[in-house]
Structure 1
């Protein structure tokens, strides 16, 4: 059994979600994460895209409230991520196991989709925090890809 096989047996969770989070107060996100992330945190390993919005909020909540293992995955390099996301990674650095930089030449939709698929391929489930119901968003495309892989997904509209 490889390390990859062992991680799939453990609780490995890909996180996907909206970049637009200003429509809710931070206390509401804390409550949502307590309800929907906390049950997976003991012994869990979370793969989080290193972007602003839900990515940064879940990273900070998991690092501050749990002992879960965290891997950050970015399509290019961490330095190319928005300031908000880089600051969240810096604040949570002690709890981040790995930062995976996929090295995409261009940070366009295909690079983000590839990053999301990379995370889903290495996890046993996905928790999605979409803001809109349009299937064209990256969050919904990740949730759909998870379903196509036959993996469970938890959808928590925010």
Structure 2
């Protein structure tokens, strides 16, 4: 049975996995990342791109990137990572939702799509992030859908 996991997290940590973030991914993503796992990751900077890079390097799990518009509309660093992994054949899929305007509504629609396709949501909010941020929006939506949630404050 395929385990489907959505990842959500703060954008305020930069794109490259540092030692502390890599340790968090090793502790909280690896247990879900066997060959029967499928991860859904947003295409934003921060946790999205860092988790995508870590998962691609450290696991054999299937990876799907979900973006609210198109890949070219993502931050340059994130778009480059997505394209490189796509070229390497490391991505199972890229979902471009085609929103015409990037903003809160487009990101929320993307996050709901990921939650709707997952059985568990792992969230990495910034420790001082308000509950009004996108990470908490996604975790709260997952709770409304009776999905399992794992919250790992950074």
In structure 2, the partner of 1:3 is none
In the alignment, which of 59, 65, 68 is matched to residue 61 of structure 2?
A: 68
Partner Cα distance (2:22, 2:131) in 1 = 26
The 5 Å alignment of 1:5-154 reads: 10-22=2-14, 26-42=18-34, 43-93=36-86, 94-131=89-126, 132-154=128-150
Partner Cα distance (2:43, 2:134) in 1 = 14
Kindly report structure 1 stretches of 4+ aligned residues shifted beyond 6 Å. none
CA RMSD of aligned residues (A): 1.4
Partner Cα distance (1:25, 1:57) in 2 = 5
Q: Where does the alignment leave 5 or more consecutive residues of structure 2 unmatched?
A: none
Corresponding pairs, count: 149
> Which SS does the other structure have where 1:120 is aligned?
helix
TM normalised by structure 2 equals 0.93
Partner Cα distance (2:124, 2:111) in 1 = 14
Inter-CA distance 25–74: structure 2 relative to 1 (3 Å threshold): closer
Q: Where does the alignment leave 5 or more consecutive residues of structure 1 unmatched?
A: 1-8
